[in-house]
Structure formats: structure tokens, C-alpha cells
Amino acid sequence: MAEGSWTRRMFEEAAVLKKKHGEHNVFDLSLGNPIMEPPAEFKQALKKLSESPISGMHRYMENAGYEETRAAVANQVSVETGIQVGAHDIVMTVGAAGAINVILKTILNSGDEVIVFAPYFMEYDNYIDNHSGKPVVVKADDKFLPDLADLAGKITRKTKAVIVNSPNNPTGVVYSTDFVNRLVSVLQNKEKEYSSAIYLISDEAYSSLIYDGLPYVPVLKIYHRCLIATSHSKDLALPGERIGYIAVNPNIEAKADLVSGLIFCNRILGFVNAPALMQKLIQHLQHITVSIADYQEKRDFMYNSLTNMGYKLVKPQGAFYMFPQTPIENDIEFVHELQKHNVLTVPGRGFGTPGYFRISYCVGQQTLEGSLFGFRKTAEQFRLS
Ligand SMILES: Cc1ncc(COP(=O)(O)O)c(C=O)c1O
């Protein structure tokens, strides 16, 4: 708790500043909490359901979720990945966070190692620790792609899983098919060497938010020991509704036991099942997303503005974050300098990578525009251009 979440800490500091200076004078780019409203189709589906309620829709259900919802999700996953996934390969969960916890609870024995790629969503450390696992961090190259030689060196007999997250929080980097193939071949070589089985957990919370016409890469299809953990928090802008799912590769070994384990863990972790009302709604919204063009515009606006000021950053290709270098070594100090201008960001060490800071641009255009003054002043202070 003392180490805490830097993201939450900055979000809370923003709330204090907003009280002091007024909402419009604080530029909060800390949390990945989209200000976009859910698509119109969501509201229509909600209205329709409330006007014609289905008998029993508020009761307990199968712990895996409603069969019809899982079938609709399975259908969409099959279309997107190109492999045939059935309703029984899907478990509805309480967000992507719930999905990752259910998977880890199911597969980990005490002391098992789980590999994560820095910079990463650091809640993974807490989730792995929840289930008595040990996080092992692999470094990235200067384009924020995982260093595959480092990965090979860090896989041991105790490696039970690897978590990938593309599009990535905090960098916005999107992995290519070629890169995923190379990553998978490292896993397969090590599995042979140790006669082990390594699961690939593909955290796809941002999979609908990909820009510049880049393709979605179906990790689920590429590796048979893959499980997708995802949600509708970002693609339908429903993070408070806590609705997500796990999709299991249909060709995974001992699939029946694995899926039974996932369903059991969904129950005993205390989730019991994913929210009933949301399951009823997202069943009809599988092909819908918020406006990707809006996010791409915001990405372009912030990327162009910051690079013109002299900030150094890798151009994000997805999600709604960017991860520029801090012009001084101490990222906490730099973030505090920005904060003096009421611009709230998160230090890179909050993602296991000091020397950078994260900007979340899922906010209104006015907030982005308002933040530029502070970014410019701070760039001048550190003589960036
Ligand atoms: C990479 C990543 N994974 C998982 C989550 C958790 O998502 P959810 O709100 O669906 O639990 C987040 C939330 O921001 C995230 O950034």
C-alpha cells in the first residue's frame, strides 16, 4: 500500500487541485478514465431492456455467465481472430482486472513465475502476488518492444505465464504479427528445453483502439496456450460497469479442466458472476465501439504539440496513452514541475520504467489544449528545444 499506485495518487492530487483552482483550470491527464460517453447503441439497448424487462434477469446465473452472451462474444472473437471459438471457451468476468485475476488464480501454484514486459500496467504485480506468484520483469528496447533475448534469459522451469498487452498501457505501442511470432517461438523453444508449458495471457483491454489502419494481431490464434483477458471498459467506455471476459484458445490442452477451473475461480474469488445487466446489454453490442477517429485525432494533436516543443517520444499506435522521456533523470521531480502548472501526469516508475512520464489523452479537447501552456513552460525550463 505504501508503494501505492502512482496513477491513483496523481488522480487524487488532481481532485484536490480541482477543488482549489476550479475544474477548468486543472489539466488531469493521469487516469485512463475515458470522458467519452458510451455509444448511442448502448443507451438504446439499456432503454429497450428497461422498458421490456426479461423475467429473472436479476437472478443468479451460471458462474461463467449467460450462454447467449457467451455465444455472442464467442462469435465476435471468432470473427476477429480467425479461429472458431465457442460459447464454452468464454467466461464472463468483472472487467479485464477480474479476468486476469481469475486466470492467475486458476493456473498458478505458489512460487510460480509470471513474466511481464516493462513498461507495464503495474497492477499486474499485485494481481500476481494475490495468487502467490512472483513477477519477473523483462526489459524493452528503445521502441518499447520487449527484448526477446532478455525474455529467453529470464524464462525458468518455474515460468508459468507471460503477460502481453498490445496496444500497450502506458506506451501505446502495438505489436506486429512478426513480433508476436518471434515472441512465441522463444516460448516454444524454452518449453522444449524445460519440458514445460507456458501460458500466454493476452491483455487486450485496448484491442479496439488501434490507429493508422494497423491490423489487430490475433495472439489467440498464433499460440495455442493463449488466453485473452479483456473488457468493454475502453471500447464501449464502460469502465465503471465492470464487464469483461476470458477467451480460451479452443486447442489448449486439458481445456475442459482449465475452463472448469476458470469458472470455479470466478465464483470463489467472490465475483460469483459478471454483472447480469451488463451481460444482457453487451450481448447486442459486440460489433460496436466508441469513435476511434476521435482518439486518433487527440493522439495526433498531443504528439505533434509535444514533439514541436522538443519532447522525445515514440509515436503511439493504439490505446490512449503516450510515454515521453523526462528531460531530467528524476521522473517524480519532473512530474511535480508539470504539476506546478496544474498539469497532472504519472511518473514512469509507476510503470516500472523511471525516466519517462505517462500522459492519458482520453480527456476533452479543452483539457488537452489547456495543458499545453504547462508543457511549454516546463519544456522551456529544461531547455528542450
Ligand atoms: C493494461 C490494462 N489491463 C487491464 C486493465 C483493467 O481493465 P478493467 O477496467 O476492464 O478491469 C486496465 C485498466 O486501465 C489496463 O490499462
Residue type, 74: A
Euclidean distance between CA atoms 263 and 64, whole angstroms: 5
- Between CA 146 and CA 117 the distance in angstroms is 6
Tell me which residue has its CA closest to atom 7 in ligand 1.
96
Using a 6 Å cutoff on CB, does residue 165 contact ligand 1? yes
Mean pLDDT of the chain: 96
Of 4-8, 277-281, 303-307, the poorest mean pLDDT is in 4-8
| Residue predicted with more confidence, 85 or 17 | 85
Length of the chain: 385
Ligand 1 center to residue 193 CA distance, Å? 33
Q: What pairs with residue 159 in β-bridges? A: 113
DSSP 276-304: HHHHHHHTT-TT----HHHHHHHHHHHHH
Average pLDDT over residues 50-57: 95
Backbone angles phi, psi at 50, to 5 degrees: -70, -30
Residues forming a β-bridge with 1: none
How much is the pLDDT for 32? 84
Centre of ligand 1 from the C-alpha of residue 344, in Å = 20
Nearest to 376 by CA among 321, 279, 309: 309
The closest-lying atom of ligand 1 relative to the alpha carbon of residue 168 is: 1
Q: What gap in Å lies between CA 78 and CA 101, rounded to an integer? A: 24
Average pLDDT over residues 74-98: 98
Helix (H, G, I), strand (E, B) or coil at 317: coil
Residue 180: its pLDDT value, please? 98
320 CA from centroid of ligand 1 (Å): 12
- Helix-helix angle 6-21:331-339, to 10 degrees: 20
How far away, in angstroms, is 205 Cα from ligand 1 center? 6
CB atoms within 10 A of CB 130: 14
- Express each pLDDT in 185-199 by its tens digit: 999 999 999 999 999
Specify the higher pLDDT residue, 287 or 385: 287
pTM of the model: 0.96
Q: Please report, rounded to a whole number, the percentage of residues in the chain having pLDDT higher than 70.
A: 99
Cα–Cα distance for residue pair 303/281, rounded to 1 Å: 35
DSSP one-letter string for 230-279: EESTTTSS-GGG--EEEEE-TT-TTHHHHHHHHHHHHHHTT--SS-HHHH
Using DSSP's 3-state secondary structure scheme, residue 169 falls into coil
Give per-residue pLDDT as tens, 197-253. 999 999 999 999 999 999 999 999 999 999 999 999 999 999 999 999 999 999 999
Pure H helices in 108-166:
123-130, 148-154
Rounded alpha-carbon distances, angstroms, from residue 106 to 194, 203, 268: 22, 16, 11
Q: What is the pLDDT of residues 1-47, one digit of tens each?
A: 766 678 778 888 888 888 888 888 999 999 888 889 999 999 999 99
Q: Which atom of ligand 1 is nearest to the CA of 32?
A: 14
Tens digits of residue pLDDT in 308-332: 999 999 999 999 999 999 999 999 9
For residue 367, the SS3 value is: helix
Q: 101: pLDDT confidence band, cut at 50, 70 and 90?
A: very high
* Beta pairing, strands 134-138 & 113-117: parallel
